[in-house]
């Protein structure tokens, strides 16, 4: 990992030059009106609050469950699969939609004039990544430790993690617990649909002895049914099921990888913002890169991690301003 980061750091300036050169080439080829349209669309999708990805999320989820209900569920019932096994994806869907809604509508920990002083006492300043007495240039509020101004939502968020376009909200101290459960149930539901669909297709192949069948290839030779031909046969027979299976399998791996990353951050009491900034600070101290002369670099340490139990408790039982007010009184 260290070698990879060193290589990335050493190539930073050359990559920036290539990117600028590539942008200039594309600006000559693509008409200016099309460039403005694409830029405007990307700005709307990723730099303004909108419900596009929420709608896309629900449409994709609805398409997967419609196909599962329309074909997989019915075929599995005919093959006498356990009803509890078949209903598990629906249970996960209900739980997922509940926490999806909570993640969308819950205040992530917006910092205002009214609660600014209360948030300043929640976390200790490390004087490296989060120095004291710094004001937000946009909100003109004193920035509590671990906070960040979200350029999309245009407000400062307590214990800012990231802005998630899929929920059209920031992920902060007060909704990170809902986001974790949402992500966990989404991964589990995709994996469960994939497992049930795969089990159905394997059961079908075994019952019909398809793997023992033979076919004649293009050269007229008799061949035993191999895996590639079997998948092609299943795709022609059940195209929607195989396509859905491929989609949820890829989705399960992507979500699973991201879930592991988020659980690692939770276990070590880091946010995505802090992890990213910490890695970038490491790159700036890389000895293979010639950076402008500056003062002796300060090393960022994670001073907020106090053991697995305490870290998880902080996420699932976050401190609220009202609690802090009672303590001060």
First to last CA, the chain: 48
Give residues with Cβ within 8 angstroms of 244, minimum separation 6.
64, 67, 68, 193, 197
Rounded to 5 degrees, what are φ and ψ at 302?
A: -80, 100
Are 115 and 324 in contact by the 8 Å Cβ rule? The answer is: no
Catalytic residue numbers, as ranges: 164
Q: Is 21 left (phi over 0), alpha (psi -120 to 50) or beta?
A: alpha
**Sign of the torsion formed by the C-alpha atoms of 94, 95, 98 and 99:** negative
For residue 239, what are the CA distances in angstroms to 2, 191, 247, 280?
A: 44, 19, 12, 45
Residue with tokens 């819950």: 106
32 burial class (0-12, 13-18, 19+ CB within 10 angstroms)?
A: exposed
Which of 85, 81, 80 lies closest to 193, judged by CA?
85
Number of Cα atoms under 13 Å in the Cβ half of residue 26: 10
């Amino acid at each position: 990992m260290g070698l990879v980061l060193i290589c990335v750091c050493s190539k930073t300036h050359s990559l920036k030059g290539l990117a600028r050169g590539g942008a200039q080439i594309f600006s000559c080829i693509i008409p200016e009106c099309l460039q403005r349209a694409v830029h405007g669309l990307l700005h709307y999708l990723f730099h303004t609050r909108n419900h596009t990805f929420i709608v896309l999320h629900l449409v994709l989820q609805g398409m997967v469950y419609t196909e599962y209900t329309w074909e997989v569920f019915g075929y599995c019932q005919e093959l006498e699969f356990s009803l509890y096994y078949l209903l598990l994806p629906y249970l996960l869907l209900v739980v997922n939609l509940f926490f999806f809604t909570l993640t969308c509508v819950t205040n992530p920990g917006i910092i205002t004039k009214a609660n600014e002083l209360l948030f300043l006492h929640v976390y200790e300043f490390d004087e490296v990544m989060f120095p004291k007495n710094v004001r937000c240039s946009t909100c003109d509020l004193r920035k509590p430790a671990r906070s960040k101004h979200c350029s999309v939502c245009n407000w400062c968020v307590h214990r800012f993690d990231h802005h998630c376009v899929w929920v059209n909200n920031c992920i902060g101290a007060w909704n990170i617990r809902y986001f974790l459960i949402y992500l966990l149930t989404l991964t589990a539901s995709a994996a469960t649909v994939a497992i049930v669909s795969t089990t159905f297709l394997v059961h079908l192949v075994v019952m019909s002895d398809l793997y023992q069948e033979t076919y004649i290839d293009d050269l007229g030779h008799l061949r035993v049914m191999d895996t590639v031909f079997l998948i092609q046969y299943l795709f022609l027979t059940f195209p929607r099921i195989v396509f859905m299976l491929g989609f949820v399998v890829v989705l399960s791996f992507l979500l699973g990888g991201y879930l592991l990353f988020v659980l690692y951050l939770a276990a070590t009491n880091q946010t995505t913002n802090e992890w990213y900034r910490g890695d970038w600070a490491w790159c700036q101290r890389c000895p293979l890169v010639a950076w402008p002369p500056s003062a002796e670099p300060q090393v960022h340490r994670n001073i907020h991690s106090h053991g697995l139990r305490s870290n998880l408790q902080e996420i699932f039982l976050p401190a609220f301003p009202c609690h802090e007010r009672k303590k001060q009184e």
